[in-house]
Structure 1
Amino acid sequence: MTTAVTPEVLTDPELHAHGDPHEVWRWMRRHAPVHRHPATALPAFWSMTRYDDVRAVYRDPETFSSRHGVLLRPVDRGVDPGGGLTLALSDPPRHKQLRAVVADWFSTRAVRDLEETTLQAVRDVLDRLPADGTCEFAHDVAGRLSMYLIGGIIGVPRHDHERLFRWTNEAFAAGVSLAAHQDLMRYFIDLMGRRTAEPTDDLVSALLGGTIDGELLTEEEILLNCENIIGATENGGLAVAGGMLALVQHPDEWRRLAEDPEALPGAVEEILRWTSSATHSMRTATRDCEVAGQTIAAGDRVVLWVPSANRDEDVFPEPYRFDVGRSPNRHLALGSGEHFCLGATLARSQMRLLLKELLERTARIELCGPVHRISSIAVSGPESLPLRLVPR
């Protein structure tokens, strides 16, 4: 790493859009695996960059709490309003209780039952593309597919999926909370009203009927959890787009999959590791503790840099090589411990079925314009990915 680069640049979104954060993380894993960042517009925090440290924090919710926020927020924005109310921003035992309300919708069995629905959504999205296969893949395929699937699970009728997709894109592009998008929130308040009067077999109905310690969830809790689940589709879409970019940049790996479709599950895991679309996750220490020789005080914020953990040379041989046959591949792209991604099985199924359909339809994939990465320290991946899916 050049002397001009310091760990503090990690909080600059432009580094993630136009630079190489992996150069910084690689240096930090070797020289400063647990590093204290002073307060700026963001609060002071500790960076963790090694796999073992990141995994240990994920798996110790008693010491490292999610309740006070899981993403760095500018100090002037105050605390996250979802603290203690949502799946992402709660600790045991409440996290487990909230998870139990919706877990059946994301179980292995539920995802298996949804496989035909998922495959139809994949085909619907691909069938929308022009005959010559040109598309803005990040938007037209990856983002749209993720939103269609989660919209269906939540209870949004199929004819409203495109509206949901447009509203969430507007919020993501503006860098604001989905709760700040008035049309989206009004839609979900209306949906809650309809499901209260006539429950159906969907996630909103499950949340409306869900109880914790004998008490129904409040409307605020239901809205914030819907926002939480919908917001996660941004990560899913970026992982899919980033995986496709990796396959374009490594055509030999695409050919491996074409020759051996049985390798698809392993390819999905490598795409998840390689893209690590959730750039960081934050926790707050509940007590004084020590990590890698550094004393972390109660109340200190700890930031886990997931892409760094997933390139840790002590865990992944040749970590900067994209290898769809990598095994073992115990990446942390979907978290670990209590907060392991609720939608992990669905995300894997979606990616596998999309790749399978693309391999059957497509002779080759070509870039047909410049790629632009998203400018963010929270998520990573291609914001713009112009491709030509050359048909068979």
Structure 2
Amino acid sequence: MTTTALSPAVLTDPTEPTDPARLTAPDRLTAPDRLTDPARLTDPELHATGDPHGLWAWMRTHAPVHRHPATDLPAFWSLTRHEDIREVYRDAAAFSSRHGVLLRKAALGDDPGGGLTLALTDAPRHKQLRSLMADWFNTRAVRGLEGPVRAATRTVLGRALEQGTCDVVHDIAGRLSLSVICHILGVPERDHEALYRWTNEAFEAHTSLVAHPRIVEYFEELLLQRMERPTGDLLSALVNGTVDGELLTEEEVVLNCENLIGATENGRLALIGGVQAFLEHPDQWQRLSEDRGLMPGAIEEVLRWTSSATHSMRVATRPYEIRGRQLAAGDRVVLWLPSANRDEEVFADPYRFDITRSPNRHIALAAGEHFCIGSTLARAEMRVLFSELLDGVRGIEQAGPVRRLHSIHVNGAESLPVRLTPA
């Protein structure tokens, strides 16, 4: 077995702002530029170049349940403690997903996919939609995907090695995540590159995939093909499956495809975040290279550490009390997941990246009824990528500064240039 040594020689650019994920807890609490205004949480610049973790740490202590007045965003409550966020996730009757799961400007109204997609439905419809898709994401199905996932991983890594210097975001993680979900949906391989280009355009513009006309047109065309000639893919199941004895509408099918494709952004950010975390903590990569038995724990720690979904939103369906604060029916509640996964009450030394961490009760993939349907697949993609890097790449070093996303919805690198040396 070839051991991969991730070179720490080029890890940061001194002209770049400090990545908040690399600060120690004391640094966070004493930094002179620490921001303690919760309103800054809705500023994408804070998440791209500032220290949201410093603000979340302050809020967990001083304002764990905080009311934000309306601005261009509707009024909402912020939750930053692991216990409170887990409670909201687990009480789907009291906290609805139907109106949208992300903050949107008030002028835009509720998410147009409300009540139509897996992510934006409540019981009982949520369970019924989930049952149509579950067979493609359960443990048995993911085991069956091991071959395609490994083949896709070797393809993207082979291209990256030929280039020598590449971007983990675009050349490895993005292509891998999209290739796998396209395989599940039944998108022909000849169309993967075009779909990858269109989804990147939407991600980079921070818009919904349904706002990209070519993506919608593509799935409408594919939908019609599956109506005439069903195959054994997930799109065929959506086209021909029923909920309450009725077929899904064309709009519901297209929106659910968009929902699944869109979810790959979180998956690829977890892959990217894992590579970045190991670059910044080469001792942990060395431990993994010496003991592959640590892989399951390493994957869970990467998920906790990256927490690629910055927030998730729910709407209260009835009056509810959290830590003495009274929420009213109709109130929006925003769950800050990276904060929950650094909660000092749950994680010992939470600002340390440790692949042997146990227990690791992170909620990076949500909890309760809306626990991520692709969680097993996401873990498999990470396991395969890290294994292939260990086996096929002798050295990886950062080849330029990291650029972080300007977003309050997802977090991670927008660009992570690396230099690969083949084994």
Task: Give TM-score, length-normalised by structure 1.
Answer: 0.98
Confirm or deny: 8 A CA contact 1:61 1:91 kept in the other structure: yes
CA offset at residue 364 of structure 1? 2.4
User: 167, 172, 188: which one pairs with 1:157?
Assistant: 188
Confirm or deny: 8 A CA contact 2:161 2:421 kept in the other structure: no
Aligned match of 1:134: 165
Aligned match of 2:84: 53
Note the 1:11-22 alignment, pairs <5 A: 11-22=42-53
Q: Does 1:173 find its partner at 2:181?
A: no
Aligned mates of 2:81, 2:262 — CA distance in 1: 27
- Structure 1 residues 105 and 210: alpha-carbon distance in aligned structure 2, compared to 1, 3 A threshold: same
- Aligned residue for 1:42, secondary structure, equals coil
Confirm or deny: 8 A CA contact 1:132 1:390 kept in the other structure: no
CA offset at residue 135 of structure 1? 0.7
Note the 1:292-311 alignment, pairs <5 A: 292-311=323-342
Aligned match of 1:44: 75
Aligned match of 1:87: 118
Q: What do the CA deviations read for 1:44-88 (whole angstroms, capped 9, x no partner)?
A: 100000000000000001100000110000011121100011100
CA offset at residue 265 of structure 1? 1.3
What is the percent sequence identity of the aligned residues?
64
Confirm or deny: 8 A CA contact 2:35 2:54 kept in the other structure: no
Aligned mates of 1:363, 1:321 — CA distance in 2: 26
Aligned match of 1:195: 226
Aligned match of 1:205: 236
Aligned mates of 2:241, 2:133 — CA distance in 1: 8
Aligned match of 2:399: 368
Q: Does 1:359 find its partner at 2:393?
A: no
- Structure 1 residues 3 and 254: alpha-carbon distance in aligned structure 2, compared to 1, 3 A threshold: closer
CA offset at residue 3 of structure 1? 7.3
CA offset at residue 379 of structure 1? 0.1
Note the 1:168-317 alignment, pairs <5 A: 168-317=199-348
- Structure 1 residues 125 and 4: alpha-carbon distance in aligned structure 2, compared to 1, 3 A threshold: closer
- Structure 1 residues 368 and 188: alpha-carbon distance in aligned structure 2, compared to 1, 3 A threshold: same
- Aligned residue for 1:351, secondary structure, equals helix
Aligned mates of 1:373, 1:107 — CA distance in 2: 32
Aligned match of 1:328: 359
- Aligned residue for 1:332, secondary structure, equals coil
Aligned mates of 1:132, 1:38 — CA distance in 2: 50
Aligned mates of 2:95, 2:188 — CA distance in 1: 39
Aligned match of 1:147: 178
Q: What do the CA deviations read for 1:118-163 (whole angstroms, capped 9, x no partner)?
A: 1111011111124363111111101110000001101101111111
Confirm or deny: 8 A CA contact 1:59 1:336 kept in the other structure: yes
Aligned mates of 1:338, 1:3 — CA distance in 2: 36
Unaligned runs of 5+ in 1: none
- Structure 1 residues 260 and 173: alpha-carbon distance in aligned structure 2, compared to 1, 3 A threshold: same
User: 18, 24, 40: which one pairs with 1:9?
Assistant: 40
Confirm or deny: 8 A CA contact 2:99 2:120 kept in the other structure: yes
CA offset at residue 176 of structure 1? 1.2
Aligned mates of 2:419, 2:298 — CA distance in 1: 21
CA offset at residue 4 of structure 1? 5.2
Aligned mates of 2:384, 2:35 — CA distance in 1: 44
Confirm or deny: 8 A CA contact 2:342 2:350 kept in the other structure: yes
Count of paired positions: 392
Aligned mates of 2:366, 2:230 — CA distance in 1: 32
- Structure 1 residues 3 and 372: alpha-carbon distance in aligned structure 2, compared to 1, 3 A threshold: closer
Unaligned runs of 5+ in 2: 1-28
Q: CA RMSD in A?
A: 1.0
Q: What do the CA deviations read for 1:237-284 (whole angstroms, capped 9, x no partner)?
A: 111101110100001011011111121111111000000000000000
Q: Does 1:25 find its partner at 2:56?
A: yes
Aligned residue type for 2:248: L
Aligned mates of 1:3, 1:362 — CA distance in 2: 39
Aligned mates of 2:87, 2:331 — CA distance in 1: 16
User: 141, 144, 165: which one pairs with 1:113?
Assistant: 144
Q: What do the CA deviations read for 1:87-132 (whole angstroms, capped 9, x no partner)?
A: 0000111100000011100010000011111111101111112436
CA offset at residue 213 of structure 1? 0.8
Larger deviation: 90-99 or 127-136? 127-136
Larger deviation: 131-140 or 34-43? 131-140
Aligned match of 2:10: none
CA offset at residue 363 of structure 1? 2.0
Aligned mates of 1:323, 1:133 — CA distance in 2: 29
Aligned mates of 1:227, 1:103 — CA distance in 2: 17
Aligned match of 1:34: 65
Aligned mates of 1:137, 1:3 — CA distance in 2: 30
Aligned residue type for 1:127: G
Task: Give TM-score, length-normalised by structure 2.
Answer: 0.91
